[in-house]
Amino acid sequence: MGVSTTWIRSRAPRPAARLRLICLPHAGGAANFFQDWHARIPDDIEVLAVQYPGRWERTGEPLLESMDELAAAVAAEIRPLADRPIAVFGHSMGSIAAYEVTRRLAEWGIEPAHLFVSGRYPPSEQKTSSVVHLLDDDGLAEELIRLGGMPAELLADQDMRDYFLPIIRSDYRLIETYQWSPGPEPKAPMTILYGDSDANIGAEQAERWRAHSAGEVTVRRFPGGHFYLVPQRDAVLEYVVATLS
């Protein structure tokens, strides 16, 4: 029997898998960002993706107000899935969510087999000047195009703007108002992944994630920008599988 909850999506249930890889998307992203990962991962790993409220089949649900709310809800959904080893992968906003989820799981004595954080600077380096969520719709659309997270043609369609921009603005508010709190750091082995031309994170910032781990830390760079995960998907998944093996 596969995993299926309000928050967790599985496109290829693998009830006999030895490990579950739980993926958290970026701001404005949805579970389908990881929809084809299962096809490129061995059968002994089950890929599960988190679906945030307000998008796709969760359209109409209230959007989240804070990172605490997001992390607490996702941790509670993951807790029953820890009947076998789990690994957690987050990209951009999802990296901070994955980090905070892992901290909450530790309060229940659950330590993931691995924590992958991608495309985000360390949680204690929150930029207080970040105000993307306060931009008007045109400014918000320009930021999305700059990052490569959404094609300009899509955002030129008014219906698409009306659907996506409130979700994206809410996610940006969530991450831009996030404040890191000192406390126990994850003991799980951690890998920091980033694109070598990502304006949001460079080699020095990636290295400073080490301060947020009580375990072994590896930094891995890939060619590309903030959404290097798309063109480098196969290389990233090859690395993830090798790490989890």
Active site residues: 92
Copy the structure tokens of residue 204. 């020095």
Contacts of 227 (CB under 8 A, 6+ apart): 119, 147, 148, 149, 195
Give the C-alpha distances (Å, rounded to integers) separating 70 from 64, 80, 117, 215, 220. 7, 17, 16, 24, 27
Give the C-alpha distances (Å, rounded to integers) separating 205 from 137, 175, 211, 212, 245. 30, 17, 11, 12, 27
* CB-CB contact of 63 with 170 (8 Å): yes
Copy the structure tokens of residue 222. 């890939």
Q: What is the chain's alpha carbon radius of gyration, rounded to the nearest angstrom?
A: 17
Query: Which of 32, 50, 129, 31 has the alpha carbon at shortest distance from 97?
Result: 50
